[in-house]
Amino acid sequence: MQQVAFNTHISGRFNTELENLRNSVLTMGGEVEQQLVDTLKAIQLNHPGLAEKVIVNDLKINSMEMQIDKECLRIIAKRHPTASDLRLVMTISKVITDIERMGDEIERIARLVTKQKLPSSASVKSSMLLIGERVADMMRGTFDAFARQDEKAALEVYEQDTRIDSEYKKLLTFIASEMEKNTESMQDWLEILWALRSLERVGDRCKNICEYVISLASGEDARHTSLENLMQKLDNLS
Amino acid sequence: MSKLPSLSSVLNAGQRQSLFIGICTFFTAILLLAMVSIVLLIFARGGGYFWPEDIQQLQFVRASDDQPITAYGQYQNQFEQGGEPVRWVVYSHARNPYGNQTLLDDTNLLQARLAPEAARISLRDGRAILGEPLKVTAPSDPDVSLNRLAQRLTQVRQIEQSIAGIRDEQLADIHQKLTELDQRKVGKKAPARLTLNQGFDRWHKRILTLEKQRDAYQLFVRLADQSIVSVALIEVEHLVYPGQLSGWQKLGEALYEVGGFLSESPKQANTAGGVFPALFGTVLMVFLMTIIVTPFGVLAAIYLNEYASNNGLIVVIRIAVSNMAGVPSIVYGVFGLGFFIYGVGGNIDALFFEANLPAPTLGTPGVFWASLTMAILTLPVVIVATEEGLRNVPQGLKAGSYALGATKAETVLYTILPMASPGIMTGVILAIARAAGEVAPLMLVGAVKFAPNLPIDAEFPYLHLERQFMHLGVLIYDGAFHSQTDAKGASMMFAACLLLLVVVFVLNILAVLLRTKLRKRYHKG
Amino acid sequence: MLTLFEREHLDVNNLAEADTAIRVEQLSLRFGSKPVLENISMSIPKHQITALIGQSGCGKSTLISSFNRLNDLHQHCHYSGKVIINGRDINSRKENVAQLRTQVGMVFQRPNPFPMSIFDNVSYGLRLQGINTRRQLDEAVEQALHDAALWNEVKDRLFEPANVLSGGQQQRLVIARALALQPEILLLDEPTSALDPLTTLFIEELMAGLKKRCSIVIVTHNMQQAARVSDYTAFLHQGRLIEYSDSDTLFTTPRKKQTEDYITGRYG
C-alpha cells in the first residue's frame, strides 16, 4: 500500500497547506454526506422544511468548491508541487468538482420533497430509500478511502456501484410497469425518475472519486478501464 | 629587394608551432643553464674556501727571480691559461712563513708530493703557516713533545685570560680612580694617589711576569726546506693536518671553518677571518628598514586603495610610485646622503648636539640613515605588492563587514588587512631581498669596509644607530678589488657571496612558507 | 458562510504605519549618469517576507542595498527621495550608517564568512558594538546559531575556521552573523543562488521561521523561490516598480501585463 507521506517536506508550511487542503475536501465531503442523509430523512418523513434546508445548504457546498479550487490554484502557483504532491492537488481539484455535482444532484432530489412530488406508492418510496441508503454508504466509504488514500477500500466501494445499478434497473422496470397502470400522473413519475436518476448519478460520482483515489495512491490511471483490467493491474502491483 | 617568403608559406601550422615551442624552450634552457652555473660557481668557489686542501711538498722555480724553492704549499684553484693548466699556490717559505702566493704552471713545477706530516697552523691574526710542527716548549717543563699540545694551548690561554682579567678589573679600576683624583685636583704626593700608584705597580709587575710566562710557550715548526721557525703558542688558533684527515673529518674541519667564518671578525684587511660584523650589520640594517618601510608602505597602500577617490591626483601618485621603483639605487644613495645625513642629520646636530660641533653626531653616515634610505628605496615595492594584496580581497567580504555595522577603519583592520597579509608579506620579503643585495647607495650612507664596533654593544644606549656598519654586499665589492692580487681573497669573496645567496635563499623560502600558510588560512574554499 | 482557509492579506499599497517596516518614498537612484531606480514608492510590511523580483539589472539589488545604505560603497552613487525606517529618513546626512546597519542586517549572494573561526564570525558584529565579555558573547553566539538552525551542526567545532563548512552551512553562518545583532530587518540578496536545491529549501524554511523575529526582504531572480517563500512580492522592471501585491494574487492573477509576461516567462 502506497501512502503519501505528509510529514517529510523540508518546508513545514507546504506540509500544513497540503494537510489543510485534504482536510477541507473531507469537510466538504462530510457536508455532502450530511445533505444526502438529510434528504433521505426528508423523503422518509415527507418534511419539506428539512428539504428546504438542504437546498439552501447547497450554496455552502458551492462556495467550498470555489475556495478549494482557488487554494489548489494557489498551491500550484506558489509551491510548484511535483509527483505525489502534484497528483494529490490535481486529484483534489477533480474530486471537488464531483463532490459539488453530487451536491447538485442531492439538491434536485430534495426538490422532490419541496414540490410535494413524492411517490404515492409506498414500495417505490421504500425502494428509493433503500437505494439512497446504499448510495449514502458508498459515499461514506468513498470519503473514507480518500482520507486514508486506501486503494483497496476504494476498489471495494467501486464494486458496490454495480449493486446499486442493478437495484436501480429493477426499480426502473417496476416503475415502468406502474406507469403503464397509472398513466395520468406521468408528470409526477417523470419527476421521480429524475430524482432516481440523480441518486444513481451520485453513486457514479462516488465511483469516479474512487477511481481518482486509486490512481492517486497507485499512480496508475484507473479511469475508463473495466473492472477485470483493474483487478489485474492491482494484482500486478501487490 | 625581393620579399622574403613569409613564414607561413614555408612551414605548415604544426611546424610553426613546434618552431615557436622550440625557440621558447631554447631560451628557457639558456636561462636555466645560466642560473645553474651561477649557483655552481658560487658553491664551488665559496665552498672551496672552507675545504681543507691537502698540503704538498713542492719544488718549483719561482717565476719572479728564477730561484728554485722547496716549500709546503696548498693549491687554491686551477684554471687554463694559454692551453696550460695553471694553479694558484699558497706556500710557506723561510723568508716569509706566513703564506706567499704564486701562479704555477707545469713547466715551473719540478716536483710535488703529498706531505701528510705537514700541518696548517692558523694564527689569530688570520695568517697561516704550512709546516711540520716539531715541538712545543713550556716554562719549567722539559717535555717538548707534541703530545701535550692541546694541554699547553689550554694553559697558555688561561694565562692570557688572567692577564686580560687583571687589565679589565684591577688596572681599569685604578685608572678610573686616578682620573677621579685628577679631576678633584688632588696633589701628586697625596697618600691616596700613592696607594693607587703602588697598586698599579704591583699589578703591572704581575702582568709582566705572566706575559713572560706566556711567551715561554713556543711552537717550533719545520718548513719544507728544513729551516725552523718558532711561533708564540698564544698566537696559534687552530692546527690541522689535512693530509691525515679522512673525507668525513675534512667535512668536520670545513664546518669548523664555516663556524669561524660566521662568528669572527675579518682579518688581514678582509682577506681572512670571518664576516660576522658584516652579516650582523646587514641583518640589523634590513631589520630596521623593515620596521620603517612596512607601516609606511602598508598605510600608503591602504590610503591609495581604500580611501582615496579615483581622481587625477591619485593616478599621478600611482605613476610616481611605479616610477620610483625604477630609479637607479645610487640616486637614492645620493638623496640619503644629501637629504638625510647633511640635511636632516645636520640640522638635528645644530639644534640638539651643538656642544659636539664641529664633530657631527647624527650628521654623518650611519646605520639608521642607511636603513631610512633603503626604506625609501624599497617603499614602492611594498606599496605595489600591498595594493595587489588589497585588490585581491573579495568585494563580498568587505560588503559583509560593512553590513554588520563596521566602519571603514574597522573593516580595514579586521577584515581587509588579514586577507591582504600574504600580499604584504610578499612585498616586505621582496624589499628585504632588495635591501640585502644593494651596495652602491649603502656605501654613501653608512656601510664601510671595516667598522671597529658593532652597532649593538653593552654600552648605553646599547643600540648605536649613528654608528657606521659593515655590510656583506660591501664586503664582496671590496673583495672583488682584491681578487686580482689575492686569490685567497677572491675565495673569501666567493664565500661571502655564498653566504649572501644562502641568506636570500632562506629568506625566500621562509617567505614562501609563510605566504602559503597565510593563503591557506585566508583563501581556502 | 464557512471559510476553509484562513488567509489574510494586508493591503501593501495602503499600509498602516504600525505595520510598516520600511517606507520608501519617491526613491530615485543613479550610478554616475546611469539611472538605476526611478521614483519608487512602496511600503514593506513588518514581520512578513517581501520578495523583490525582476530581470537582472532591473535594480532590485540596488533597491535592497538602499535599505542599509550599502550603495554608499559605490563612488558615483547619487540618490534622492526618502527611505524611512522607524520614523527616520535613513538617507539623511545625520544618519549613523554603522548603527543603521546593525539594525538592518544583510546577507549576500555568495556566502562570505570571514577567514576566522565560526565563533569569531558570529561575534564579529557584537565585538564591533563593544561587547567583549566572554559570557555575553557565548550566549549571543549560541542563540544566533540556534536561530539560524546551525547550532547542532557546529556546536562541537565553534573554533574551527568557518571556511571548512559547506556552502549551505556557510550561508546559514552568515545569517547567524547578521542575527547576532538582533536586527529589525533582514535583507537577503539572492541568498540561495549559489546553493543546491535542497539546501535552498532548507534556507527558505529557515526564513519562514525567522519571520517572527524580523521583517525580511529578499531579492531573488528565481521566481519559484519568490512564490514559495514570500508573503508579498514586488516586481521591478528597468528601475520602476511595476506591480506590488500579496504573492498569492501576484502569482495567480497579476494585474499588469508586464508582470504576467515576466512570471509566465514570456519576456522576449
Nearest-angstrom CA–CA distance, C28 and A142: 60
Structure confidence by residue, pLDDT tens digits, B236-263: 878 888 877 888 888 888 888 888 888 8
Asked whether residue B23 carries a pLDDT value surpassing 90, the answer given is yes
Element (H, E) at A163: helix A151-181
Q: How far apart are CA A131 and CA A172, in angstroms?
A: 12
pLDDT digits (tens, 9 = 90+) for A60-102: 999 999 999 999 998 898 888 888 888 889 989 999 999 999 9
How far is A76 from A81, CA to CA, in rounded Å?
6
Reported confidence tier of residue A225, pLDDT bands at 50, 70, 90: low
- For residue B1, is pLDDT > 60? no
Quote the percentage of chain C above a pLDDT of 90. 15
Sign of the CA dihedral with B372 first, then B378, B380, and B386 last: negative
pLDDT at A56: 92
Distance CA A95, CA A141 (A): 15
Contacts made by residues A50-53, CB under 8 angstroms, sequence distance 24+: A50/A113, A51/A110, A51/A111, A51/A112, A51/A113, A51/A114, A52/A110, A52/A114
* Residue C1 falls inside a structural domain: no
Is the separation of the CB atoms in C196 and C171 below 8 Å? no
Among residues B94, C248, C71, C98, the alpha carbon closest in space to that of A76 is found at: C248
- Min Cα separation A58/chain C (Å): 11
Res. B111 pLDDT band, cuts 50 70 90: confident
Neighbours of chain B (3+ CB pairs under 8 A): C
Do C122 and C144 touch, CB atoms closer than 8 A? yes
How many whole angstroms separate alpha carbon B4 and alpha carbon C250?
73
C-chain CB neighbours of A14 within 8 Å are 228
Residue B250, amino acid: K
Tell me, yes or no, whether C4 lies in a domain: no
The pLDDT, as a whole number, for residue B489 is 47
Which of A181-185, B344-348, C141-145 is the least confident region?
A181-185
Measure the CA–CA gap between A114 and A112, rounded to whole angstroms.
6
> How does pLDDT run across B485-507, given as a tens digit for each residue?
455 445 777 888 888 888 878 87
Residue C254 in any domain: the answer is: yes
3-state secondary structure A89-156: HHHHHHHHHHHHHHHHHHHHHHHHHHCCCCCCCHHHHHHHHHHHHHHHHHHHHHHHHHHHCCHHHHHH
Q: Is residue A142 within 8 Å of A209, Cβ to Cβ? A: yes
* Chain B residues within 8 Å of chain C (Cβ atoms): 309-310, 394, 396-407, 410, 414-415, 418-419, 521-525
Specify the pLDDT at position B425.
85
A80 contacts on C by Cβ (under 8 Å): 224, 227-228
pLDDT at A98: 92
pLDDT at B238: 81
* Winning range, highest mean pLDDT, from B25-29, B179-183, B288-292, C235-239: B25-29
First to last CA, chain C: 45
Extents of the domains making up chain A = 12-237
Out of C105, C129, C164, closest to residue B403 by CB: C105
Report, as an integer, the average pLDDT of C198-203.
Answer: 84
Question: What is the mean pLDDT of the segment spanning A184-189?
Answer: 80
| Residue C119 maps to a domain | yes
- Identify the pLDDT of residue A139: 92
Let me know if residue C2 belongs to a domain.
Answer: no
Selected residues 26-45 of chain A with any CB under 8 Å from a CB in chain C:
27-28
Residue A141 pLDDT > 60 = yes
Report how many Cβ contacts below 8 Å link chain B to chain C.
72
**Rg of chain B, C-alpha, whole Å:** 31
**Cβ within 8 Å of residue B123, ≥6 positions away:** B98, B129, B231, B235, B236, B237
pLDDT higher than 80, residue B335: yes
Mutation target for A interface from C1, C3, C5, C199: give the one with most A CBs within 10 A: C5
Among A225-234, B193-202, B501-510, C26-35, the range of highest mean pLDDT: C26-35
Domain of residue C25 covers: 12-263
Mean pLDDT, range C244-253, rounded to an integer = 89
Closest listed residue to residue A143, CA positions, set A223, A40, A30: A30
Mean pLDDT over residues C120-143, rounded?
89
Which residue, among B68, B62, B50, B119, has the nearest Cα to B89 in the 3D structure?
B62
Chains that touch A (3 or more CB pairs under 8 A): C
Grid coordinates standing for A62?
Answer: 458551492
Q: Is A15 on the interface with C (CB under 8 A)?
A: no
What is B276-522's CATH number?
1.10.3720.10
Return the pLDDT at C149: 83
C72 part of a folded domain: yes
Q: How far apart are CA C235 and CA C216, in angstroms?
A: 16
pLDDT value at position A6?
46
- Per-residue pLDDT, averaged over A23-35, amounts to 91
Q: Where are the domains positioned within chain B?
A: 56-118, 134-244, 276-522
Chain C residue numbers touching A11 (CB-CB < 8 A):
201, 204-205, 208, 228
C40 located within any domain: yes
Residue C261 three-state SS: helix
Q: Judging by beta carbons within 10 Å of its beta carbon (0-12, 13-18, 19+), is residue B248 exposed, middle or buried?
A: exposed
Top residue of A8, A11, A76 to mutate, by most chain C CBs within 10 Å, is A11
In this structure, of A136-140, A146-150, B66-70, C86-90, the range with the lowest mean pLDDT score is B66-70
> Is the distance from CB of B449 to CB of B478 less than 8 angstroms?
yes
* Tally of domains within chain C: 1
Task: Look at C4 and A68 and tell me if their CB atoms are within 8 Å.
Answer: yes
Assess if residue C204 is contained within a domain.
yes
**Residues of chain A neighbouring C5 (CB-CB closer than 8 A):** 20, 24, 67, 71
Please provide the distance, in angstroms rounded to a whole number, between the alpha carbons at the two ends of chain A: 8
C67: domain CATH number is: 3.40.50.300
Output the CATH code of domain A12-237. 1.20.58.220
Is A13 part of the contact surface with chain C (CB cutoff 8 Å)?
yes
Between chains, do C108 and B399 touch, taking CB under 8 Å as contact? Answer: yes
Rounded Cα distance, A24 and A22, in Å:
5
User: Residue C168 — very low, low, confident or very high, per pLDDT cuts 50/70/90?
Assistant: confident
Residues from chain B contacting residue C102 (CB–CB below 8 Å): 404-405
Is the separation of the CB atoms in B383 and B297 below 8 Å? Answer: yes
Q: How confident is the model at residue B421 (pLDDT cuts 50, 70, 90)?
A: confident
Identify residue B120 by its one-letter amino acid code: R
Residues 6+ apart with CB under 8 A from C136: C126
Separation of alpha carbons A103 and A158, rounded Å: 19
* pLDDT tier, B152 (very low <50, low <70, confident <90, very high otherwise): confident
The chain-wide mean pLDDT, for chain B, equals 81
Closest CA of chain C from A65, distance in Å: 10
Q: How far apart are CA C223 and CA C219, in angstroms?
A: 10
